[in-house]
Structure 1
């Protein structure tokens, strides 16, 4: 007899939107049955095109994502969007309005939109995002777009789930150096200068070109192209889709895609190991002993290493 998780998965596979949402919630919050869902679907992953869209606020990312959804739908792909807002403790946070507007535009079964925010995810927001996008991949969405609100370290970590990362900026924000400091250029595969009809677009492209020239310069290294777009008029959208596809082809042929996937798999196993070992320790010593050890360390009666040795003995 199938478990409740597997029954839910069967409904999700049939396209039941409520079942899909419930399945994602189980994975996101590491509820009972989450591991069973991963075991049942892992071999079905690795097929979707995972696209990350990040950049500072005010860059028009949501409008650009909406335009990308339309472009991929036009070629027949089922598309899922995962919008991540690490700064918000509420479901969807500041981006909820954008998600509602996008749903109104795409009232078809080929588009699924999910909002995620910081809600004490087990293993961190990046790991929760990885679980969600892998499930959407397994459920048959050919393109999964992950959008983040800002460009902080947590957003950079979230972007590592993507095959191709698009960094979106606009003229006049003066964020070129900020992006470098945040480490975003290190994970960016395609640079998008959106609202490229604004004054200062040429200067922005020049600054970004200079910043990119300071990066790896080996013959086989990927050189992120800079694509100018206007998300509202969809000008430059074909060029962006082509740039994403070209990076995907390079990543597969160069072995970069496999290396990135292997690194992500190792990080996931390590995170699971830490979580599992901690749970086993907690079940063995109990919350009270852990609290006592913490109190002793806080009062300088014990050092952290000695306290841990006592707990493990």
Structure 2
């Protein structure tokens, strides 16, 4: 067993931090650590927090952490931030907002960049969650950057997904257009002291009447004011109620099984792409790229020929 694996299973916070660094930077020991950790995972509650920018997700997560700690629940947070175009790292906006918990040994917070994942969650996010699960966190909060594909991708990791909206931002219409209605297990109207809260709740209720009228689970709507900590007990009560629903219906096991199957395909897709990309860059395909750039050939034919050559080498 790798030394870092032993440290994580012993509850060593530096070991967990080191493992996530190995994951982000694709160190050689990465796969060994993840393979060894896998049998020790599956116990934490995985909660996705997503929604549009400006809805107050980070402040909400900060307050929720505080509430969970009063219940003696250990918390891990994976906050997916935009990737810096200069360093490739996360911009750490969420870490700045959560400094209140920096010295709490029952809280582990890590910001991760989207790392060129086409607007969605980095493939490393799931692995970081797995590290925190093995490390012993009771609850892991996965906060997305809040734009693009990441809002949908979090559904492939979390057991329960909360979509955060705020009054006056046109959030409900954007959420429904983007298909967020389909992934939300509960809605949180944050900044509920602002004008327009009632209107927003009515809009969401009306959309739920249309989209979830015969569904076995109707997403509840919770009001919160994260600036002064209001609504956290209600929010957590609804999360727990959804988790109970998942257990009683067998959906919990179904979701996790589906997530694992999807993860296998994601890993295959990512590794095949990396190998193909390396072959293109170093395997003498410059001529095809130059021909397309000069418009002497269409990109579809060139791509098909590159794939055929690469596939022939690997079979």
Q: Which of the five TM-score ranges fits, normalised by the shorter chain?
A: 0.7 to 0.9
Could you tell me which residue of structure 1 aligns to residue 72 of structure 2? Answer: 76
Q: Please, what TM-score do these two structures have when normalized by structure 2?
A: 0.87
TM-score by length of 1: 0.88
The 5 A counterparts of 1:34-45 are 34-45=30-41
1:310 aligns with: 309
Aligned to 2:98: 102
Q: Distance in 1 between matches of 2:26 and 2:227?
A: 38
* 1:63 is the counterpart of 2:59: yes
**Does structure 2 conserve the Cα–Cα contact (< 8 Å) formed by 1:77 and 1:142?**
yes
SS of alignment partner, residue 76 of structure 1 = coil
Please state how far the C-alpha of 1:171 moved relative to its aligned partner: 1.2
> Paired residue for 1:158, among 133, 151, 154?
154
Match of 2:137 in 1: 141
- Report the more deviating stretch, 46-55 or 23-32: 23-32
Alpha-carbon distance in 2 for matches of 1:262, 1:7: 29
CA 1:183–1:161 in structure 2 vs 1: closer, same or farther (change >3 Å)?
same
**Within-5 A mapping of 1:205-224:** 205-218=201-214, 221-224=216-219
List runs of 5+ in structure 1 lacking aligned partners: none
Contact 2:59 2:97 in 1 (8 A): no
Counterpart position of 2:5: 9
2:43 maps to 1:47: yes
Report how far residue 286 of structure 1 moved: 7.5
SS at match of 1:214: helix
Task: Give the stretch that moved more between structures: 83-92 or 175-184.
Answer: 83-92
1:91 is aligned, of 86, 89, 92, to 89
**Residue of structure 2 in register with 1:300 after alignment:** 297
Q: Distance in 2 between matches of 1:275 and 1:57?
A: 28
Structure 2 residue runs of 5 or longer lacking an equivalent are: none
* Alpha-carbon distance, 1:207 to partner: 0.6
Show the counterpart of 2:228.
Answer: 233
1:266 aligns with: 261
Offset of residue 91 of structure 1: 2.9
